Amino acid sequence: MQKKAISCFEQLANEKKGQPQKAALFSVSFFVSLNYLRKSPQKFCAVTKGGVFRWVGEAFGTRLGFLAIWLQWIQTTIWFPTVLTFAAVSIAFIGPNQSWDSALAANSHYVLVIVLLVYWLATLLNLRGMSTSGVITKWGGLLGTVVPAALLVLMGMVYWAMGNTIDISMQPGDFIPDLSKFSNIVLAASIFLFYAGMEMSAVHVKDVRDPGRDYPRAIAIAALLTVCIFVFGTLAIGFIIPSKDINLVQSLLVAFDRLFAYFEVPWLGNVLAVFLAFGVLAQVVAWVGGPSKGLLQVGKAGYLPGALQRTNRHGVQVGILVLQGCIVTLLSILFVVLPSVQSAYQIISQLTVILYLIMYILMFAAAIYLRYREPHTPRAFRVPGGNFGMWVVAGLGLLSSLLALVFSFIPPSQIPVGSPAVYVGILVTGVIVFVGIPLLVYAMRKPTWADPIARAEFEPFGWEKNKRS
C-alpha cells in the first residue's frame, strides 16, 4: 500500500533543499492535507473493475475516464528517469573515493547510460513474467528501502543524541515554515509526488473483511510509516550536511558516507550503495509492469489500438512496455541537453507532479459529483458527515491539488534549473503533449479495437444502465 511513498526514499534531498527542519514540517502538513484526502474519494465510489477509469468515467464519461487512467500510467513512465538517476548515483558511490564518486554522479552522460541500461533491464525482466520480477521486488524492497531507511533514521538520531554539532537549528520556531516567502510554497509543490500513489490500493476495498474499520486503519498505519521515513530521514540528512551543500541526487549517499565514517564503519558505505541500487532496480521492476496492466485492461475494452494490446506468452503487455520504454529513452536525453543532472531531475519530477495532479483533480471532482448524482449507490466505504463531509474531504483535496498545480509551473529559487523560460516551456510542452495524446487516441478509436471478451468483463457505467432502461 505504501510502496509508492517509500519508493521515493531516494528523493529525500528535495525536501531538505533550503531549510531541512521546515521542509520536514511541510512533509507532515501536506501529507495530512493532501495525500490522506487523495486516498479517500475512490473509496466512496462503487468498487468495480477499471480503477480510476471507472471512478472518473462514472461521473464525467469515458473520455475523461480514459484521460485519468492514461495520466496515472504516463506519470509513472515519466517518473522512471528520476528514480533511475538515484540508481546511477548509488552505483557511482560504490567507489572508494567520495570526490571521484561525486564527480562521476554529476556526469550527465554517465547518468544517461545507467538510466537506460537499468530501465531496459527491468523491462526485460518484466517480459519474462511475474515469477522472475516478484523475487527481485521482494528482496529489493527489503534491502533497498526498509534497511537503508531504518539505518538512516537510527544513525541520525544517535548522532544528535550524542551531543554532536548539527547543521540545522532545532529550535521550535524554526520548524514553522515561512509562508511569506513565495519560494517556500513553490518548493512545497514539488514534494507532493512523494506521497502519491496510495489511491491504487482502493481497488481492493471490496476484498477487505470489514472495510469500514480495517481499511482506514491500514491507511493510517501506512501514513504514519511514510511520514516517519520522510520526516526523520529529512532531519537525519540535515543534521550532517549544511543546507547550502545539499544536492538533490547525491546528498543521501553523502550523508550515509559521513555517518558511517563517524561510527567508524566507512566500508558500509559501499555496501549500502549496492543495496540502494538494487532497491531502485526492484522498484522499477515492480512499476514497469504494474500501472500499465490497468491501461491494458481498459485498452482491450476498445480504447487502445491493437498494437498496444499485444501480449506475449506470459501475458505481459509487450506493446505498452515498448512504448513506455521509448518515452523513457526520449525523456532521459534531457540529462544531456539540460545544464546539469540536478536541473533535469527537477524538471522531470515536476512534470510528473503536474500530470498526477491533473488526474487527482478529476478524481476529487468525480467524488463530489457522484455523491450528489448517486447518493444511494451501495459502497464499500463512505465519507462520514454526508455532503458536508464529502466537501471537507474531497473539497480540500481538490483545492490543494489546484494550488499545487499552479505552483508547479514556477521555478523554485532553491534549485538551479537553468533558464526559467526553458523550464516553464518544457513543462507546458510536456503537459500539452501528454494530455493531448489520450484525447487524440480516444477521438480516433474504432469498434474493431475492442476485445469482445474484455469488453464483456466491464460492468456498464450507471449512466449506461439508465440509458438502456
The string of pLDDT tens digits covering residues 366-385 is 989 988 887 777 666 677 77
Half-sphere exposure at residue 158, Cβ-oriented, CA atoms within 13 angstroms: 10
Residues in the chain predicted with pLDDT less than 50, given as ranges, are 1-11, 13-47
Residue 175's CB: how many other CB atoms inside 10 A? 15
- Name residue 311's beta-bridge partners: 317
CATH architecture of 3-462: Up-down Bundle (1.20)
- Name residue 182's beta-bridge partners: none
Report field, pTM of the whole predicted structure over 0.85: no
Residue-level pLDDT at 323: 92
Per residue in 262-319, pLDDT (tens digit) is 898 888 877 887 887 787 777 777 777 777 888 888 888 889 998 888 888 878 889 9
State how far the Cα of 301 lies from the Cα of 187, in Å rounded to an integer.
40
Q: Which residue has the cell 480503477?
A: 51
Residue-level pLDDT at 247: 65
How far is CA 136 from its chain centroid?
20
Nearest to 391 by CA among 362, 364, 373, 361: 364
Per residue in 343-353, pLDDT (tens digit) is 777 788 888 88
Residue-level pLDDT at 188: 65
Per residue in 253-262, pLDDT (tens digit) is 788 888 888 8
- Name residue 317's beta-bridge partners: 311
Domains of the chain, residue spans: 3-462
Helices (H), 170-210: 182-189
Residue 468's CB: how many other CB atoms inside 10 A? 6
Q: What percent of the chain has pLDDT over 70?
A: 72
Residue 466: is it exposed, middle or buried by C-beta count within 10 angstroms (0-12/13-18/19+)?
A: exposed
Nearest to 59 by CA among 354, 301, 299, 377: 377
For 295, residues 6+ apart whose C-beta sits below 8 A from its C-beta are 69, 70, 73, 304, 317, 320
